Amino acid sequence: MMNKLPLFLSLFVCICAMAPLSADASNTFDQTMLRPIDQDFSFSIKPNPSRNYLNVIIENGTAGDYQIEVYDVLGKLVLKQSLFKLHTSISVASWKAGVYLVKISNDQQTQTKRFLKQ
């Protein structure tokens, strides 16, 4: 019996056949199609704890469309907005003191960290 390629490999071959790499006069290739689309990102919160500002720094990521959601310990949504920069500063001066969950997500991944408001 003839071996068949797994479905994901067949799809990969088809996609690569539809978008071939292009070479210029110096024989270098455009490798934009070879970059992974599910690149992991991470983020940090500084300072933590804080009284006035929550600085969110997206690391190992590219500038793009990220979503931030912040929840209090009771699960109430405190903040929801889009992030388009890798470094964003958010005023938390009016928030009550306590622990908050900061969730950052993009199309491929979601990460959550704790933030302490003093």
Q: What is the DSSP string of 7-68?
A: HHHHHHHHHHHHS---B-TT--B--GGGS-SS---EEEEESSSBSSEEEEEEES--SS-EEE
Domain ranges of the chain: 42-117
Condensed to tens digits (0 to 9), the pLDDT of residues 37-72 reads: 445 788 999 999 999 999 999 887 777 789 999 999
Secondary structure letter of residue 96 according to DSSP: P
CA dist 49 and 99 (Å) reads: 9
Q: In sequence order, which residues have a C-beta less than 8 Å from that of residue 62 and are 6 or more positions away?
A: 39
CA dist 64 and 84 (Å) reads: 5
pLDDT score of 39: 59
Cα angle 57, 61, 67; round to 5: 65
- What CATH number does domain 42-117 carry, 3.20.20.80, 1.10.1060.10, 3.30.70.1560, 2.60.40.3080? 2.60.40.3080
pTM (2 d.p.): 0.65
Condensed to tens digits (0 to 9), the pLDDT of residues 28-43 reads: 444 444 444 445 788 9
pLDDT score of 67: 94
pLDDT score of 31: 45
- N residues, the chain: 118
